[in-house]
Amino acid sequence: MKSAIINMVDRMKDSTDLKLESLFASDSIADDGFSATIEKRIRRQLWVRRLTLPIAVLIGGLVSAKPLAGLVTALFKLAAVVPVNVTDNIAPLSSGSLPQFSTIMFGGILVLAFVLFTRLLED
């Protein structure tokens, strides 16, 4: 059962609509599997793009594991060499030397505005 709205649209077709309808009503052209081949290639390229970045991150992490371990051990050795009186000089700092909350909020708003502006430029 057709609704009344669809029947109204069928009655309102002009000659251009009828010509377009007749053009699109023709049989599809046989392509001997060409469309399926192209779809396969596109899917394969999508999977390659999806997997490239995670694999690159994994390989980069494996390559940088040894230097990162050396950096951590060097930082521990440096922390052992730092004299004790350096930490004594840090303790008496007053809260007046820290930035005010309004300054921190202003910086956060500037960062947020910058991020939104860069996303706007991408679109």
Chain segment 25-74, per-residue pLDDT in tens: 877 778 888 888 999 999 999 999 999 999 999 999 999 999 889 888 88
From the number of C-beta atoms within 10 Å of its C-beta (0-12, 13-18, 19+), residue 81 rates as: exposed
Q: What does the alpha-carbon distance between residue 63 and residue 55 come to, in Å, rounded to a whole number?
A: 12
CB burial of residue 70 (10 Å; 0-12, 13-18, 19+): exposed
Instruction: With residue 20 as reference, give the H or E element that holds it.
Output: helix 15-24
CA 61 – CA 64 distance, rounded (Å): 5
For the entire predicted model, the pTM comes to 0.38
Structure confidence by residue, pLDDT tens digits, 13-29: 788 888 888 888 877 77
Does residue 2 surpass a pLDDT of 90?
no
Place of tokens 């940088």: 64
∠ CA 97-103-108, rounded to 5°: 130
